[in-house]
Structure 1
Amino acid sequence: MEDEEDLEMLGEQLYNLIYPRHMDMAGKLTGMLLELPSSVLAEMLRNETMLTKAVEKALGALSSFDYTSNMGRQGEDEVSVSSDSLGEQLYQLVDVHNTGLTEKITGMLLEQKKEEVQKLLSDPGLLEERINMALETLKEDNSMETDISDSSDPDDPERLGERLFQAVQEIDAKNCADITGMLLEMDSKTLKQVLCDHTMLEQAVQKAQSVLVLDGLDAPKL
């Protein structure tokens, strides 16, 4: 009961902040933002920049897809929506949830049939449920990868190199080969720690990127 009262209070505060700038859409925008975790909403109330960005994302989602016209009456007889368009709309709605994995989650959700994707676009509650399921799946996949790395030969440079290249490619596709080569100079124990800790990996990649900039290795090749 307290959670419902807290959410209602957050909703009123959000609405009061959004209304002056978006009178006609304040209700819709507030409803979309209320799908976010309470901790995120509380931070938005303290951080005007964060709130502005979230409202802009929600506005983008609304402008690319007629949100109200699809509430409760999405059907196959409506005008067909292209896969690219669905993907863009879904990406914007997923991005509002600030998971940090918008691209991966959107890709996972787009594997469903078009009708299912259209339901997600018109039902914020269902979308949030599917996003949470996708997050759990990604966590499980990451755990399995960690188990595999623990059971493999720690001194197998080829195995480590392959996994490291794939991980670095997601962060910096342009310079992944150069960065992987630099990181492979570390001992196998440190490499395994980097592969199991995304924060450590990002820090290692950033250091390597700095070296590349200094050396001019990332300059366009003629």
Structure 2
Amino acid sequence: MDEALETLGEQLYTRIYSKHKEAAGKLTGMLLELPGPVLRQMLQDEAMLTAAVEKALRALQLEQEPSRVSCKEEDNVSASSDSLGEQLFELVDVYNTGYSQKITGMLLEQHKEAVSNLLSDPKLLEEQVHVALETLKEQNEETDFSDVSDADDTEKLGERLFSLVEEMDSLHANDITGMLLEMEPAVLRQLLSDHTMLEAAVGKAQSVLDTGQ
């Protein structure tokens, strides 16, 4: 465990111990599976910490009472999707992704049994939240550049780059743009959205041209 996480663990343990002496160690361990930024926020936000501890306690009780879990699984079949959705949203919201509603919707597309498993398995839930988050981010990137298809991706990026490079160095705009287009499309998009980064890349290309002449 790295030092930062260890410090967070100690701080969490101290806060949890005052209310849940017997289970403090286990609860702290469960919460430490959450991402670092979420844990730091919890230490500053009492309500968020309390909610997370209560959820961890419920998960702990389920682990300790396997006989009741089997009955609960039967109940869950008749449980309404609404209540499952609410419980899932509460857990997803702890990760503070900014996409809680969308991620919950994506996870609820699974079978009811799979959703119930997520409610009782924090590790599985964390994995699925990350996967859903990545998918959402990719979708957002695609929408940002929806006008650029794979076939003419580089061509359009090249046109946009050329017009910006021409403002900086009209004499060598063609050569510089050609050099920049050897980079990955993702890097080129960054250059288009970050002027400082573009200036640095153009400067490097100019140095290469000067050396070559």
Q: Normalising by structure 1, report the TM-score.
A: 0.54
Distance 1:61 1:42, change over 3 A: closer
CA change 1:79–1:24 in 2 (3 A) is farther
Partner of 1:53: 47
| Identity rate, percent | 53
- C-alpha contact 1:91 1:106 (8 A) present in aligned 2: yes
Identify, as 1 or 2, the structure richer in helix.
2
Matched residues in 2 for 1:29 and 1:142: separation? 36
- Partner of 1:35: helix, strand, or coil? coil
Q: Is the 8 A contact 2:103 2:132 kept in 1?
A: yes
Using structure 2 for the length normalisation, give the TM-score: 0.56
What CA RMSD, in Å, does the superposition of the two structures yield over aligned residues? 3.0
In terms of mean alpha carbon deviation, does 7-16 or 20-29 score higher? Answer: 20-29
In the alignment of these two chains, the number of paired residues is 144
- Structure 1 residue aligned with 2:5: 7
Distance 1:44 1:61 in 2: 13
Shift of 1:42: 3.8
Q: Which runs of 5+ in 2 are unaligned?
A: 150-192, 194-213
Matched, 1:118 2:116: yes
| Deviation at residue 75 of structure 1 after TM alignment | 4.4
Tell me, which stretches of 5 or more residues in structure 1 are unaligned? 152-196, 198-222
Give the drift of 1:78: 3.5
Deviation at 1:7, TM superposition (A): 3.1
What is the one-letter code of the residue matched to 1:58?
A
Highest Rg: 1 or 2? 2
Structure 1 residue 95: Cα displacement? 0.9
What's 1:103 paired with?
Answer: 101
Contact kept in structure 1, 2:33 and 2:123, CA below 8 Å: yes
- 1:15·1:27 contact (CA, 8 Å) conserved in 2? yes
